[in-house]
Structure 1
Amino acid sequence: MKIAIRVDCSNEIGMGHIMRCLAIAKKLSSHGHDVLFIGNDIPSTFVEKIISAGCKAESFSLSLDEHNNSNLKHSNWLKGGAYFDALETSKVITKHFNIADWLIVDHYGIDIEWEHRLRACVKNIAVIDDLADREHDADLLLDQNIYDGWLNKYKNLTPNHCELLIGSSYILLRDEFISLSPVPINKKPRDLIIFMGGGDEFNYTGQLLELLIESDNRYQLKVDVIIGPINSHKDNVESLMKSLPHGRLFVNPTNMAELYLDSKLAIGAPGGSTWERCRLGVPSVLVAIADNQVRVGRFLDKEGVAWLTCSVKEAITRYYEVSHDIALLHEYSYRAQCYVDGKGVERFISLLEKGTRECLVEN
């Protein structure tokens, strides 16, 4: 099959969208499919990752359209507006494929208007979403998050024939988080790991470190910190890490799953990395940094899978409250593992490989 993926990555958007698309693309490529990433100024770091996965990438460059009259909450993520972005995307697809079998869209700034414009050069459209806040012209829609009542909500936002894949059965994980097994809490050498997303636009990482530095056990604390390659606060984080003698900083590590397994507890945002930690059985203190993350965090807190907090100060307080209770951490670790079986990518790809829009309608 010929498959195009429309996704963006920036300090504002973060890395989560492109990383979960990479998980899909790598598996598609291994199945012999031709995969093309299309984006607005894809960072070179991610172009390299795309090529390493056996896929192709092509960028165009559109600047923010001040006259964009879209009422979408994330319309500013689609810099050129729906018309010009759809035009550029269509050109790239036509250049490489003429007509694509599937177009996968993972972008909060894209809705039915944009998708309509792409129908001329694609046979089928699959949308990956987390928000359920806009209409889609899609044949298949995936939302890996767990919300009560969202199946019906998406039914009102998609065509009748659209196949809806909702919930934890469709969590999209990279192979590195599937191939490793959880480690018992009492056998982990590190106390804490912090990852606040690949972009971390407002430097929550730095704020957390400042609070840890003020604590009495800063000289004993074995903390690992991960930041992404597009993090603009790297210098600040590096400076703060000097005050934690047993701290380690990792920038865009290739062994992220192994680093998670080393730590008894994590502090992070309730985004895609939450499901990675669940798969590996790493208990998490969550700091919600976006509206849709609050919904995920509340659900996981209620289910006893993670602790949701509303500020970095509250997160550090909660960390110290639970970090020495090994029995409690074991309970949270076990419950977290139960939510993610690691087969979401396979399930998604099996539906893509059914082939045609007509096949999906029949189901």
Structure 2
Amino acid sequence: MATSSGLLSFQKVSKSFDQSDILNDFNLDIFDGEFFTILGPSGCGKTTVLRLIAGFESPDSGIIAIDGQNVNLVPAEQRPVNTVFQSYALFPHMSVADNVGFGLKMSGVAKSEREQRVQHALELVKLSGFEKRMPTQLSGGQKQRVAIARAIVMRPKLILLDESLSALDYKLRQQMQMELKQIQRQLGVTFVYVTHDQEEALSMSDRILVMNNGQAQQIGTPRDIYEQPVNLFVARFIGEINVFDATIVSKTGEFAYLAEIQGVQKQVHCNQKLAEGDEVHVLLRPEDLRIEYVEDAPNDSVGFFGHIKERSYTGQTLDSLIEVANNQEIRASEFFNEDDPDFDYRIDQKVWINWVDGWEHVIKKSAL
């Protein structure tokens, strides 16, 4: 028997293909009832993790445990796990009801109970009345709902979703993100979702694992991942980020330091202990920056000067590409203010850039 603090546990799991390491001493705990997302670029190992959970692959070493039980030798069909694939994998010759109830039928569930559970699953995915339709009569979103219903009807401990919304158009994908989260909360079942879409991960997850090169880079809540990335890979992979190289000049208080950034000395905050001369990265999201005309810059403020290179109107925001010292380009995003006639700066306009103290995130340069 394996022990675990979570519903699902990877304990020093390694996996290689063709003598190439995909996972090496990989550890992970996923807790009962959470929506957990594995996020990372193509080839980072996230699909391998999913296939190991499902039982489609076996680890070379280490232990995979579900509910405290070692499942290394348990075949896929005997694990309390169901998978929703990107391709839907519906049986084209079966109706919606028969597709959803197929697993129950193969498990020997009585017809009356089977029909009741199928109906409940279809209600959850908002497909009541579609029982007799064939897959060819369904839209992409409806097929996705059938695939989800087929997974939840089995009442597994874990539902795995492999880039399950990537084939849908943008608006439908957003709608399905909300519905998936609602279904997960209603059922209280653990969902493990694999995606390379950062927005999707942030909007749906209780916790996120960011992976790269088979390694866990960071595990945390969406807010932790976005606002407090532990290294440059996570910072750059999740949304847009501005990275300023800086040097610590002195300590000014608990977790407060004076740093030299772009030739300007400015106070920054860091929850790590830093010393004079330490080289750090000061990280700022585009929405953290504030832009003003040069002539409007307060005399006693500390900021950077630059000029506008590009401007984009996105409806809610005006996004700017600004060139500052050393030809560095930074991005700023501001909520559009239609009542301010001076808000829309011109290309080549000289501007002053600053941010509110404490909005920056500082990491040591060694944190790659």
Bin of the TM-score, shorter chain as denominator length: under 0.3
Task: Name the structure where helix makes up a greater proportion of residues.
Answer: 1
Larger CA Rg, structure 1 vs 2: 2
- The normalised TM-score by structure 2 is 0.28
Task: Name the structure where strand makes up a greater proportion of residues.
Answer: 2
- The normalised TM-score by structure 1 is 0.28
